Structure 1
Amino acid sequence: MPKGEQIKIVVVGGGAAGLFAAVIAGHQGAQVTILEKNQRVGKKILATGNGRCNLTNMDMHISHFHGMNPKFAYNALQAMDNIQTIDYFEHLGITHKVEEEGKVFPFSNQASSVLDVLRYELNRLGIETIVEAEVKEIRKQSEGFDILAKNGAKYFAHRVILATGGKAAPNLGSNGSGYALAEKLGHRLIEPFPSLVQLKLAEPFLKQIKGIKFDGDAEIIVQNKTVAKARGELLFTEYGISGPAIFQLSRTAAEKLKKSQAVWVKVVLINHLPKDQLVSYVNKRWQDNPEKNVSFSFVGFINKQLVPVLLKQAGIEDLNKPVALLTAREKEDIINILQDWRFKVIGTNTWTAAQVTAGGIDVRDINQNTMESKLVPGLFFAGEIMDIDGDCGGYNLQWAWSSGYVAGKNAQTY
């Protein structure tokens, strides 16, 4: 490249990571073009945080990130941390607020406001955005790259930032197309699988309890050992179980299933009482009203739609039996299932339901300090396309901002 020539950067993908990488590269003085296959950029941003955009989280510890080598994310998360992210978006006009579990949202409660300020910044910096431009091939040349689009258009760049996302939420444009582009350039792929997604269960009675929502605990059990646990809202569905707590556990469950291991989810319906207090409380209910049948004895304590299924699972065949006639073993089995109800996990919901992709381009071939390929000089990566994914709660967007920042900065200064 001739000395003094303005660096041309093409960002492939107009999601959170791609937009942020483009803005940062633009701040550095590069000539930046975004190629987006959808009709508009930032569609997935609009869907994050239930339409409110969970920008980041105040608890930004590396333990919230996953992959074959989650520590790969550490340097990028330091280069653009949660506080810097909040400050940057405040500078763009996004007043923030912190909610439960450290989740950070725009004060407007509108994800669209985040996309609006990013698009404003793109326009201010003169960054060109070309939509309906799906890239089919990237060819490395001596001076840079030729980028070929499916519509026949051809582009040249000194540097390329691949920010095409993963496979989660294909209705928003994520179809994994970037994997093939990277593989053709020599990169390895860690097989992707859905994460932050509902779990499918094997039980035949799910239609009877679908729609029941409650706050409880959930654990993933493999070989009779707890390998992950979470607390929060749980929701039974006709195919299995959902809710924020399940989303947090879904990656672990999916990973174990991929290894052909038997996976169980343990549900704790009553998590606010220790076992001895629960025993005392339930026995008192029965002692106060010994004539009530066992099913009706739980009305006012547990969702009544759940009671007959729960009792059947506890081995109680006669739901009309007066509680005074329950045996000690039957009482023990009922109380046990309130704090240890286990379901066989047979899979996860589909990519359409997943919030994020686990797996992706192997980070062993990427420089963790610059996000540049170790195999192809001038090729950079940002966001979900890489084998890094975060917990629910703003971590995946923070990875998009952080990796986009590092890629955008280094693509220009390289």
Structure 2
Amino acid sequence: MQNSSEPNYDVIVVGAGAAGLIAAITAARRGNTVLLLEKLSKIGSKLKATGGGRCNLTNTLSNEEFMARFGRDGRFMTPALSAFDHKALITFFAELGVESHAPDGYRVFPISHSSASIITALEEEMGRLNITLITDSRVERLEHNGEKVCGVSTADQSFHSSNVIIATGGLGYPQLGAEGDGFAIASDVGHKVSELFPAMMPLRTRETWVAECRADTIPKVEIRVDLPKAKNIRASGDLIFTQNGIRGPVVLDISRDITPLIEKFGSVPLLINMTKGLNEEQLLTHIKKEIDRNPEQSVLTHIMTLLPESLSRALCTLADADPEKGFNRLEGSVRDRLLKLLAWTPLTIIGHDGFKMAMITRGGVSLKEIRPESMESKILSGLYFCGEVMNLDGPCGGYNLQWSFASGYVAGHLGAPIL
């Protein structure tokens, strides 16, 4: 039962990240009194770090292509993207005075290439709309009567509202305050929360030769999982070797599928093509052309037309091929082994550094218990979710931020039709 001294708002938003900020702004623009609660001392901590601080807001893919990158659950986003796609997001920030562009024709950044411009614009809009912001305030409990939301309680205060939007994010980047608060809140009121895994992060390998190849970025790499029931898991992009494993955009993308497999199998075998898609036959043709041009040069020199020297030497060692010999002077079995390694280099993933290095979380509140057209809970009236707290995650490249903004925009309508 509400105490008459409890502050009363039309909407309470829990979490001042990308999803929560746009949900609060959207709700306030519709004439609602809005309270935004943030447990940290500042808003947008994770947003500030997005894209290395450059803030990759979204990308220019069509809605269909965009959803496909999220896998089988991507269709859940259909109403949200119809209401607030990348074009609408670009317009939204332009109206707040932040122009954006896509330098590579794909990824969209503010022209400033600074997340600070995004956060400042959102802060100023919240001020204009008289949104009440309380920082250093952790929500501990959702108040409800079993059927409908009544408000929230922090450690020292309660706030009343018949509409609560949970935008607390996931477990990634705990140094920026991620603790999974929203998962506990959702679970306490009966929502199913799937198993949570760190995603979009570097991976550790069993193979130690990777440490010798840290100097260079390998472009246009394809990685695929070499497990019978996971053959379709693959990604492409730039690869970087580390002291104990691999990182880079291609690893960030595929790690969201690999971390659950590590949990299940203990290790995950990969096959990696670092020669721009060339197969064994094409590689042999390439090397023969190099031999025709330079018959006296070593096999190492020929491979270095495709790969950096450190990696070329490492692969020769793996194939037991003398890097200083001519290719035609190698034994047939050694040549075959080297071509096979060049076409698909095997690596075995054995671990990762957990959520402390994860940009996002794989898993969350079950989508089956959320209405996609409004983001409202099917279990408790007046309860809404948006952003990473839900069980939906995508690759790097503006996907997850666009989804946070789109779902926050829909949640901020509180079930009203979006025109």
Q: TM-score, normalised by structure 1?
A: 0.91
Q: Show the counterpart of 1:230.
A: 235
For 1:38, which of 37, 40, 65 is the aligned residue? 40
Structure 2, unpaired ranges of 5+: 3-7
- Quick one: distance in 1 between partners of 2:87 and 2:301? 52
For 2:99, which of 72, 95, 99 is the aligned residue? 95
- Quick one: distance in 2 between partners of 1:71 and 1:272? 31
Identity among equivalent pairs (%)? 32
For 1:56-113, what per-residue CA distance to the aligned partner results, in whole angstroms no more than 9, with x for missing partners? 111133112247x332222112121221111111111121212336211111211111
- Quick one: distance in 2 between partners of 1:132 and 1:390? 30
Contact 2:201 2:247 in 1 (8 A): yes
AA aligned to 2:254 is L
The offset of 1:31, in angstroms, is: 0.8
RMSD: 2.6
- Quick one: distance in 2 between partners of 1:288 and 1:83? 51
Where in structure 2 are the equivalents of 1:58-137 lying within 5 Å? 58-59=60-61, 60-61=63-64, 62-66=67-71, 69-100=73-104, 102-137=106-141
For 1:257-313, what per-residue CA distance to the aligned partner results, in whole angstroms no more than 9, with x for missing partners? 344286322221211656444313323434655555544554565322223321121
For 1:304, which of 306, 309, 320 is the aligned residue? 309
For 1:175-220, what per-residue CA distance to the aligned partner results, in whole angstroms no more than 9, with x for missing partners? 1111111111111101111222222211122322234311132222
Instruction: State which drifts further: 320-329 or 106-115.
Output: 320-329
Secondary structure of 2:108 counterpart: strand
For 1:223-250, what per-residue CA distance to the aligned partner results, in whole angstroms no more than 9, with x for missing partners? 3573233332110111211111121211
- Quick one: distance in 2 between partners of 1:389 and 1:163? 15
- Quick one: distance in 2 between partners of 1:143 and 1:322? 76
Where in structure 2 are the equivalents of 1:215-294 lying within 5 Å? 215-223=219-227, 226-260=231-265, 263-271=268-276, 273=278, 275-286=280-291, 292-294=297-299
For 1:18, which of 20, 23, 33 is the aligned residue? 20
Q: Show the counterpart of 2:52.
A: 50
The offset of 1:17, in angstroms, is: 0.2
For 1:213, which of 217, 221, 231 is the aligned residue? 217
Contact 2:11 2:163 in 1 (8 A): yes
Contact 1:210 1:238 in 2 (8 A): yes
- Quick one: distance in 1 between partners of 2:381 and 2:239? 47
Q: Show the counterpart of 2:385.
A: 381
Contact 1:220 1:263 in 2 (8 A): no
Alignment CA distance shift 1:384-1:321 (3 Å) = same
Answer yes or no: is 1:147 the counterpart of 2:152. Answer: yes
Alignment CA distance shift 1:277-1:223 (3 Å) = closer
Contact 1:35 1:133 in 2 (8 A): yes
Answer yes or no: is 1:192 the counterpart of 2:184. Answer: no
Instruction: State which drifts further: 126-135 or 288-297.
Output: 288-297
Contact 2:149 2:380 in 1 (8 A): no
Instruction: State which drifts further: 100-109 or 291-300.
Output: 291-300
Contact 2:149 2:383 in 1 (8 A): no
Instruction: State which drifts further: 14-23 or 183-192.
Output: 183-192
- Quick one: distance in 2 between partners of 1:100 and 1:231? 17
Structure 1, unpaired ranges of 5+: none
Alignment length (residue pairs): 408
For 1:13-56, what per-residue CA distance to the aligned partner results, in whole angstroms no more than 9, with x for missing partners? 00000000000000011111111011100011111122111111
The offset of 1:383, in angstroms, is: 0.6
- Quick one: distance in 2 between partners of 1:254 and 1:50? 23
- Quick one: distance in 2 between partners of 1:413 and 1:295? 64
Alignment CA distance shift 1:299-1:398 (3 Å) = closer
Contact 1:361 1:386 in 2 (8 A): yes
Contact 2:86 2:402 in 1 (8 A): yes
Q: Show the counterpart of 2:5.
A: none
Contact 2:142 2:185 in 1 (8 A): yes
Q: Show the counterpart of 1:175.
A: 179
The offset of 1:339, in angstroms, is: 1.7
Alignment CA distance shift 1:135-1:315 (3 Å) = same
Secondary structure of 2:307 counterpart: coil
The offset of 1:116, in angstroms, is: 0.8
Q: Show the counterpart of 1:397.
A: 401
More strand by percentage: 1
Q: Show the counterpart of 2:208.
A: 204
The offset of 1:255, in angstroms, is: 3.3
- Quick one: distance in 1 between partners of 2:387 and 2:307? 43
Contact 1:215 1:269 in 2 (8 A): yes
Q: Show the counterpart of 2:167.
A: 163
- Quick one: distance in 2 between partners of 1:290 and 1:375? 73
Alignment CA distance shift 1:170-1:298 (3 Å) = same
Q: TM-score, normalised by structure 2?
A: 0.90
Secondary structure of 1:231 counterpart: strand
Instruction: State which drifts further: 329-338 or 288-297.
Output: 288-297
The offset of 1:320, in angstroms, is: 4.6
Secondary structure of 2:357 counterpart: coil
